[in-house]
Structure 1
Amino acid sequence: MTITKHFERPELKTLRQLVRQGEGQQLEFKLKSNHPDKIMKEVVAFANSDGGKLLIGVADDKELIGLKYPDEDEYIISKSIEKFIFPKINYHLEKIRLDNEKEVLIYDILASEIKPHYLDLKGIPDERKIFVRSADKSIQASKEVKEILKGKKKDKGYKFAYGEKETLLMKYIDFNKEITVTKFSEVAQIPKKIASRTLVLLVLAGVLRVNPSEMEDTFSMI
């Protein structure tokens, strides 16, 4: 009697391990490319954040479905990246064949050094949108996050004066771990505009970090 052993291909094993992690800060699944506008939102968010992998041909429940005509999906996605994202982003593409002979596309989106990147679906500069990654979601950037991304691009070596409002801010964060623009405005009794500007400056100076949220961003110590 002859026993035949079937060994899983290394690249497929690596893919299964990756998918088991589930969607998160640097991982997103899409089943198909039939809504390229939604896919572009994920691509922009990864480029504006810490980078990440976009898997096409994987269901939300982690099932490896694959693409029957991967070349068509690749063409749609690659053309959409070229057409709708400004400035251009850097990415790598890998194709992995499944046991069912279908393929999964893995787009490895690199964290950009020229942030922010915009999603421009209509070709109208004033309607361009910035997205960032927050846990397993890609969300539209707040006014503060936009200013932080633009400020980091300038890299001026930001400094700040440590005054009364900064003292109140640090005491609040030390006790509560994080703060929002609204709460800082209340605690320091200052206009939200000044609270916003102060928090942005402290992030750019490397004192605080911003944690993007769909509701209201929070700021915490690095």
Structure 2
Amino acid sequence: MTLQEVKSLAAKGEGLRIEFKKKAAYPEKIVREVIALANTEGGDLLIGVDDDGTVSGQRFIEEEIFVMEKAIRELIFPALSFEVFTIKLTEKKGVAVFRIPLSPDRPHYLKTGDKKQSFIRVADRSVQASREVWEVLKKSRTPEDVVFTYGKKEEVLMKALGEKGKITMKEYSKLAGIPFFLASKTLVRLVAANVLTIHPQETEDFFTIKD
């Protein structure tokens, strides 16, 4: 990768497939961006680029790469494949590009003690994945024909979607008079069956009828 290619990437600004970091401070937080990219559409993490897209570089970029590679190796599960490119600006300053593919092993997650957290990309932000998103990601690894029974709870759901256009899991649970776990399971199954689309959000996901 060349410096011109890095500048072209930086000029696009942060978005669904690109994240900038000035340096690899707090790598345990930056790995969330890596996880989100791998779980969503893949993309690039640039170290040595300011939030405004200025390619300012970082001193001793090899050390930044070492820190990030260690964090990715030790904190992300299952193991994640990626490429790293180093671009020198001067003798002491450089930029690192971590190229993260859309992973066939998604969902990847951050493991700290007994806690597991997964993340996805929403516009230019990385947000924690809900239980529903997690399950949809798992099912997307091995697509299969999903058979479901169209019963009363599905009828209530489709009627509500026809009237409102979108619905959250909690709204559906209340409307259909069913527990959260059953509402969640039903929605995930319908997403897997290509009947619904899930729209991940920072606060609460919503679902719409698939176009």
Q: TM-score, normalised by structure 1?
A: 0.85
2:201 aligns with 213
Matched, 1:30 2:26: no
1:145 aligns with 133
Matched, 1:45 2:33: no
2:156 aligns with 168
Query: 2: distance between equivalents of 1:175 and 1:57?
Result: 48
CA offset digits 1:77-114 (Å, max 9, x no partner): 11111111111111111222337972111111011111
**SS of the counterpart of 1:179?**
coil
Query: 1: distance between equivalents of 2:54 and 2:116?
Result: 34
After superposition, the CA RMSD in angstroms is: 2.1
- Which of 111, 121, 124 is the equivalent residue of 2:102? 111
Query: 1: distance between equivalents of 2:43 and 2:147?
Result: 31
Letter in 1 for 2:5: T
1:204 aligns with 192
**SS of the counterpart of 1:220?**
strand
Q: TM-score, normalised by structure 2?
A: 0.89
Letter in 2 for 1:187: L
Matched, 1:82 2:73: yes
CA offset digits 1:161-181 (Å, max 9, x no partner): 122332332233344332100
**SS of the counterpart of 1:178?**
coil
CA offset digits 1:46-77 (Å, max 9, x no partner): 11111111010111122211011111111111
Letter in 1 for 2:33: E
Gap change, CA 1:23 and 1:176, over 3 Å in 2: farther
- Which of 124, 127, 146 is the equivalent residue of 1:136? 124
2:174 aligns with 186
Kept in 1: contact 2:132–2:188 (CA 8 A): yes
Query: 2: distance between equivalents of 1:135 and 1:173?
Result: 24
**SS of the counterpart of 1:165?**
helix
Q: Give unpaired runs (5+ residues) of structure 1.
A: 1-9
2:62 aligns with 71
1:157 aligns with 145
Query: 2: distance between equivalents of 1:159 and 1:207?
Result: 11
Query: 2: distance between equivalents of 1:98 and 1:23?
Result: 21
**SS of the counterpart of 1:53?**
strand
**SS of the counterpart of 2:135?**
helix
**SS of the counterpart of 1:105?**
strand
CA offset digits 1:115-174 (Å, max 9, x no partner): 121212x4x3x2122111111111111121222223334545322112233233223334
Identical-pair percentage: 41
Letter in 2 for 1:204: A
Kept in 1: contact 2:60–2:92 (CA 8 A): no
Q: Determine which structure has more spread, i.e. the larger CA radius of gyration.
A: 1
Gap change, CA 1:100 and 1:218, over 3 Å in 2: farther
Letter in 2 for 1:165: K
- Which of 8, 20, 25 is the equivalent residue of 1:17? 8
**SS of the counterpart of 2:105?**
coil
Query: 2: distance between equivalents of 1:68 and 1:99?
Result: 9
Query: 2: distance between equivalents of 1:58 and 1:219?
Result: 35
